[in-house]
Amino acid sequence: MTPAQTAPALAGISKPARMGDAHPSASADAARLHTLVLDSLEDDQAQEVVSIPLEGKSSIADFMVIASGRSTRQVAAIATKLAERLKAGGFGSPRIEGLPAADWVLIDAGDVVVHLFRPEVRSFYNLERMWGFGEEPAAAGGHA
């Protein structure tokens, strides 16, 4: 089963947290995990990082983080370093899918689910829109 098949469509997603910030109602561990993920992505120069709070909207996680790497090599490196940092931070070994191809890598860290994409693959799947986060440009008709 692919990550796209397991992600239900939701509406009304609130604005993403800024780097290092956590959603006020998230548990302390989830907030610490979220901060570690965002800091790791920033350290590894992930592009277009978007954090979508899911607490109270979905039971799969408290946060979904979506980011891009410039190439499959960078996506794989970001995913590998994030997994190492999660383990070193006391969050155990996350489940990772898609690492050999590294077009779309899913990292399930429990309370935070991370999607890492090559830019072309990210624009094709457009998870932000599916989760009701991204806004359509006016020229596209404005239907969400």
CATH number for 101: 3.30.460.10
In a domain, 69, yes or no: yes
Question: Residue 9 in contact with residue 132, Cβ under 8 Å?
Answer: yes
Going by pLDDT thresholds of 50, 70 and 90, the confidence category of residue 83 is very high
In a domain, 5, yes or no: no
How far is CA 19 from its chain centroid? 13
Give whichever of 6-10, 84-88, 127-131 has the largest mean pLDDT.
84-88
In a domain, 3, yes or no: no
pLDDT of 23-57, one tens digit each?
A: 454 588 999 999 999 999 999 999 999 999 987 78
Rounded CA gap, 75 and 103, in Å?
Answer: 7
Average pLDDT over all residues of the chain: 80
Going by pLDDT thresholds of 50, 70 and 90, the confidence category of residue 128 is confident
- The parent domain of residue 90 ranges over 26-133
Enter the pTM of the model.
Answer: 0.74
In a domain, 6, yes or no: no
Q: 28-43 and 72-88 helices cross at what angle (nearest 10)?
A: 140
In a domain, 40, yes or no: yes
Closest CA to 27 of 66, 62, 64: 62
Task: Report how many domains make up the chain.
Answer: 1
Residue 136 DSSP SS3: coil
